[in-house]
Amino acid sequence: MNDLDKFFFRRLCEGLGFVCVAIDCDMRIIFWNDQACRQFNRSSEEMVGNSFLDILNEQNRDEARQLIERTIATKSPGEMEVKYPDGEGAYATWVLILSPILDDQGLIAGASVSMRDISKRKRLSQELARSRRMTALGRMAGGVAHHFNNILGGMLTSIDYVLTSDSPRELRKTLRLLAQAIGRATRITNQLAAFAESENEPAESMELNPLIDTYLERIRAQARREKIHLETEIAEVRSEPFEAQRLIPALESLTQNAFDAMSEGGTLTVTMVEEDETAVIRIKDTGCGIPDDMKDRLFEPFFTTKGELGGGGGSNIGLGLAAVHGLVSEMEGTIHLTSKIGEGTQVEVRLPLFRSQLAHHQ
């Protein structure tokens, strides 16, 4: 890069509409643009040579130091959120994005740091997420009402019948049926409550590989009990943390469907690979498969291929794939299902390894 190119590049960086700072490998500031001057009310002359960590709140410094050290050591970008007073007694949320700076020989020379206030976008995103959740719950309301009417109607019929009978045997039979009906209603209520769980609920987060390890450990015992051979091929991926109580239940629900489809045993294959900064998780069974006329309805609330609403004789009724779809969507992921009668079903979940800041930490 010649001197003229360097001049124009510097002027470009100085005029950016967001905070842009360059630091060396010792975290000292070597460039401080105009927006940084306005944001922090400190001139470039005042800041160059000082530690970048000095401009951060004390509670953010350790995490920022680790992020910078990791970026410099691995030559890989990274990001985190930091808090700053907004001038109105509250704190604004900023995203801090680091990118490595390499010299002409490809050696690390430092890092560039861009910072943006994302508070407004986070609030809008949270409002949009709540709106989508309410829309989804609204669509579920019809299914909930229909199914509860069926349960309650059956209970009333059983009670009316047994009131006219003096047979202890019929009484025991009716009580057993009532207990089963109440159990189905309780399961649906619990699933609905989980799906509508508050976004402010504390969440345990971890990167994908330990999260997948936890999920696999949970399903191994059940696979052995049901005489299902479990095959796994899990690649190492680097990702942002994911909320365990969202992803693990989604994967377990998909796995339970696969187990149900292999009532006589079979093979369950779980794989994870990285494709274009996306983790691709595939859960494949060798079960009975799903008829074509049912595939379009699989993501409807309370639709099931094996329960009462699906025309079967089972009792596995609930939110099913509708809830899984909702949980995956909240993580900015997608879900795709392929199936063939007699050959089995494969569900593919795609999750971005580094999600947008709009959805992050909702």
Q: For each of the domains in the chain, give its residue range(s) and CATH number, in order of start.
A: 3-117 (3.30.450.20), 124-352 (3.30.565.10)
Relative orientation angle of helices 119-163 and 320-330, to the nearest 10 degrees:
170
Q: What is the largest CA-CA distance in the chain?
A: 102
| CA gap 240, 311 in Å, rounded | 42
| CA gap 360, 308 in Å, rounded | 38
- Output the tens digit of pLDDT for each of the chain's 362 residues: 565 555 666 677 776 778 889 999 999 999 998 888 988 888 989 899 999 998 888 888 998 999 999 988 888 888 888 887 666 656 778 888 899 988 878 888 888 888 888 877 777 777 776 676 666 666 666 666 766 787 888 888 888 888 888 888 888 888 888 887 887 777 667 666 655 554 445 457 788 999 999 999 999 998 999 899 999 999 999 888 888 878 888 898 899 889 988 988 999 999 999 998 899 999 999 998 888 777 666 765 555 554 433 333 333 434 567 778 878 887 888 999 999 998 999 999 999 987 653 344 44
Cβ–Cβ under 8 Å, residues 250 and 349 = yes
| CA gap 179, 177 in Å, rounded | 5
User: Which residue, chain included where needed, has tokens 């971890």?
Assistant: 206
Cβ–Cβ under 8 Å, residues 119 and 130 = no
Q: How far is CA 150 from the centre of its chain?
A: 34
Cβ–Cβ under 8 Å, residues 294 and 256 = no
User: Which residue, chain included where needed, has tokens 């047979």?
Assistant: 167
Across the strands, what pairs with 101?
Answer: 110
User: Which residue, chain included where needed, has tokens 């006219």?
Assistant: 164
pTM score, two decimals?
0.50
Q: Sort 321 into a burial class: Cβ within 10 Å, 0-12 / 13-18 / 19+.
A: buried
